């Protein structure tokens, strides 16, 4: 595994979570007589050091950086490279050969294919140990995290998010607790920020520490009306995000939004904005809105934000920025810097949704044009939103 500080927006919290997961995998593989080497190197440079070898197997990536790495590695290899698509339930190009308009258009295509592709994977017996195989460089000491961070030169930013530990073991604990305590009621309670009824699995999915196929089978074993609702989020919505970043080359740019959204936002770009905040003010949660501030503080200090409030959070950045493009850049930057699942297809799609992606035009209004609007009155009407604020304040104090 090539470990480098290639992601400038990632900080110590992300690398700690990643390293905790890598250490667990390394130990589990050792028990199966498989050697895992973690080396401080760029991806392509690391492969060059290992030539020659018999063959290379990689997982599939969807973002621009992930795909470029794999392309560069394939170009330098004197042997075959096999790409395994295990980060989704249904391979994205089996579902569609184009960027899908919405969840509805993807859903019609993906649902008939789920059972065919969602086959459990059985571990094979290892016939030849690789523990004695020599490599031309030492493996990093994943138990010495301060030393590792110092070598990598990664930055400390925001809270440590120590309540989130990386690794498949932790992911399975999260899933077990969710199934036991919160799957029942998920359909009606998942959107309420005051209840915190989410699964909490997104960071583990992002870092590849739990399989979506494994989650699918465990959830399917429950006879609850909430099961289809959860699987909609796990498969349809998540893999719609994969489709977006794979087929839209401008997925991380304002210009990648739907044409109708760009047109209506441009038409209202000069509308008067009652509130205007700089990037620094937003980052520091220094706005007039206590609900938005609480969500921002949760993200900065804890590395997470309730999914419903992520939508509200992004909409308000659009409303309070000097221009729609400035708002898009700000929202994406903050998401990538502080969310534990930042720089993930879900994050890119989630930010773009706030600006009209995977949505439809709504009634026209100032600033937003035909892009969907959300306000604090809606939060107060639907939820006990002050209870959410109180919970975050108490969590930050502790």
Chain-centre distance for alpha carbon 185: 24
Residue 172, both tokens: 């399975």
pLDDT band at 6 (very low <50, low <70, confident <90, very high): low
Structural element, H or E, at residue 317: helix 307-320
Contacts of 106 (CB under 8 A, 6+ apart): 95, 96, 100, 236, 239, 240, 243
Any idea where the domains of the chain sit in the sequence? 97-120+170-247, 250-397
pLDDT band at 25 (very low <50, low <70, confident <90, very high): very high
Closest to 229 (Cα-Cα) out of 263, 175, 273, 189? 189
- Condensed to tens digits (0 to 9), the pLDDT of residues 127-150 reads 999 999 888 888 999 999 999 998
Closest to 130 (Cα-Cα) out of 30, 230, 269, 248? 30
Pairwise CA distance, residues 159 & 227, whole Å: 34
- Condensed to tens digits (0 to 9), the pLDDT of residues 144-197 reads 999 999 888 888 887 778 789 999 999 999 999 999 999 999 999 999 999 989
Instruction: Provide the percentage of residues in the chain whose pLDDT is more than 90.
Output: 84
Pairwise CA distance, residues 350 & 332, whole Å: 9
pLDDT band at 368 (very low <50, low <70, confident <90, very high): very high
Same fold for the pair 97-120+170-247 and 250-397: no
- Condensed to tens digits (0 to 9), the pLDDT of residues 59-83 reads 999 999 999 999 999 999 888 899 9
> Are the C-beta atoms of 230 and 183 separated by less than 8 Å?
yes
Section 339-363 average pLDDT: 97
Section 51-65 average pLDDT: 89
> Are the C-beta atoms of 264 and 361 separated by less than 8 Å?
yes
Closest to 340 (Cα-Cα) out of 196, 158, 212? 158
- Which residue carries 């490279």 as its tokens? 81
Closest to 13 (Cα-Cα) out of 138, 161, 135? 161
What is the fold, at CATH topology level, of the domain defined by 97-120+170-247? 1.25.40
Instruction: Provide the percentage of residues in the chain whose pLDDT is more than 70.
Output: 99
Residue 344, both tokens: 């993930």
pTM of the model: 0.96
Of residues 47 and 295, more confidence is placed in 295
Does 52 sit behind a cis peptide bond, omega within 30 degrees of 0 on the bond before it?
yes
Q: Residue 171 in 3-state DSSP?
A: helix
**What is the CATH code of the structural domain delimited by 250-397?**
1.10.579.10
DSSP-assigned beta bridge partners for residue 2: 39
């Amino acid at each position: 595994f090539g470990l480098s500080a290639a992601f400038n927006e990632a900080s110590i919290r992300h690398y700690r979570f990643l390293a905790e997961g890598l250490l667990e995998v390394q130990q589990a593989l050792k028990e199966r007589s498989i050697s895992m080497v973690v080396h401080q190197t760029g991806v392509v440079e690391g492969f060059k050091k290992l030539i020659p070898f018999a063959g290379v197997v990689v997982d599939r990536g969807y973002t621009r950086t992930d795909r470029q790495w794999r392309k560069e590695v394939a170009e330098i290899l004197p042997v075959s490279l096999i790409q395994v698509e295990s980060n989704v339930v249904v391979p994205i190009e089996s579902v569609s050969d184009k960027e899908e308009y919405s969840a509805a258009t993807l859903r019609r295509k993906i649902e008939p294919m789920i059972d065919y592709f969602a086959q459990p994977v059985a571990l094979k017996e290892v016939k030849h140990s690789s523990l004695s195989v020599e490599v031309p460089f030492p493996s990093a000491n994943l138990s010495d995290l301060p030393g590792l961070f110092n070598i990598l030169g990664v930055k400390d930013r925001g809270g440590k998010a120590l309540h989130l530990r990386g690794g498949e073991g932790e992911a399975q604990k999260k899933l077990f607790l969710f199934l036991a305590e919160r799957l029942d009621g998920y359909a009606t309670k998942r959107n309420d920020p005051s209840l915190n009824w989410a699964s909490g699995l997104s960071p583990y999915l992002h870092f590849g520490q739990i399989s979506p196929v494994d989650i699918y089978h465990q959830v399917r074993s429950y006879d609850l009306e909430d099961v289809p609702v959860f699987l909609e989020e796990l498969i349809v919505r998540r893999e719609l995000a994969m489709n977006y970043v794979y087929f839209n080359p401008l997925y991380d740019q304002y210009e990648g939004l739907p044409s109708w959204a760009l047109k209506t936002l441009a038409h209202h770009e000069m509308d008067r904005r009652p509130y205007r905040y700089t990037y620094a003010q937003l980052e520091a949660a220094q706005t007039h809105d206590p609900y938005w501030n609480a969500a921002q503080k949760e993200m900065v200090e804890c590395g997470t934000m309730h999914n419903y409030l992520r939508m509200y959070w992004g909409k308000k950045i659009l409303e309070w920025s000097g221009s729609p493009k400035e708002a898009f850049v700000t929202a994406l930057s903050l998401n990538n810097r502080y969310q534990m699942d930042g720089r993930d297809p879900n994050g890119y799609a989630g930010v773009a949704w706030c600006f009209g992606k995977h949505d439809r035009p709504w009634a026209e209004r100032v600033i937003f044009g035909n892009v969907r609007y959300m306000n604090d009155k809606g939060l107060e009407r639907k939820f006990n939103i002050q209870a959410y604020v109180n919970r975050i304040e108490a969590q930050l104090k502790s």
